[in-house]
Every structure is written in C-alpha cells, then in structure tokens.
Amino acid sequence: MRKVAFLDRDGVINHDPGDYTCSLQEFTILPGVIETLKKWTSEGYGIVVITNQGGIAKGRYSLEDFLEIDRYMRSAFIDAGIDYIETYFCPHHEVSSRCLCRKPGSAMIEKAVARHAVDIEASFMVGDKMRDLQAAAAVGIRGLKIDVNQDLRSLRLPFLKA
C-alpha cells in the first residue's frame, strides 16, 4: 500500500488568479510548493493531483492547453526529485454537461486509490475549496483546507514528521 498526498491544482500548486489558468504563460508554481512536496516525498508520500478543469467544457481553454500545463508541472516535479504519480482531471462543467468525476464527486480519487494501491488511512488531501475535502472524505481520506494561494510551507500536519 502506498501513502499519497492528494492536491488540488489551482490555488494550491499554482497561483490562482481568481479565474481560470488558461495557458502555460499564466501558470506559476507557488512559492514553497517544490520544497514542501520534496519534503513529503522524503517522508514516503507520492503526489497525485486531483483537479476540476471546467474551463475546457466552457471553451475558455483547450484540452491541449491543459495538457501542456500538466506536462510542464510534471517535469518541474520530477526534475526536483518529487515522487509525482499522476494527475487526474475533470474537463466537465455543469453548465454544459453532468458527470461523476467533478469534485465534490469522488471518482477521480477513487480511480487513483484503485490504480495505485493507496493506503487511505495514511494519505491526505490538500485543497482550497470545500469540494476538495468533500471528495476526499467520500473515500475516507482526511483533508486539509487551506487559503487560496497559501504557502504550503506554513502547513503543520501533525501526522507528518516535523
């Protein structure tokens, strides 16, 4: 079984401008993210990103725009020695379609748990919206809500080493 730190993307990993991050030029990894994820990796956690990307359904950006950002993020993590596992994303939005994967639905997390033999009791989710924590709770994973664009270095997680 594998310990995993699940993270929302916009507002947790990268700067959330208050609207959609539509292109790689708008994507900026927040201060403290790389350092924190390296620390969690050293403590045995793999990293899984769980993100709603409703801007695709709304036509604000394309699937290829999203994938370009994801490739960049993945490379930055891997180059830093972070145990990045995978990104799960929901391209839907209720304005145009209904789905089971969009948070607060738990399908993306359930898929990651099944695919990567995740130890639910040892894993956690960090998100900046209640829907992130609701999705995790539905699977039995503890969650921590942070402020949008909060520096992850400020987190004190009692279940992690100091």
What is the distance between the alpha carbons of residues 104 and 28, in angstroms, rounded to a whole number?
25
Which alpha helices (DSSP H) does the chain contain, by range? 33-42, 63-79, 107-116, 130-139
Structural contact between residues 126 and 12, judged by C-beta atoms closer than 8 angstroms: yes
Instruction: Assess whether 119 carries a catalytic annotation.
Output: no
Instruction: Assess whether 83 carries a catalytic annotation.
Output: no
What is the distance between the alpha carbons of residues 107 and 52, in angstroms, rounded to a whole number?
12
Given the residues 10, 70, 128, 132, the one annotated as active site? 10
Active site residues: 8, 10
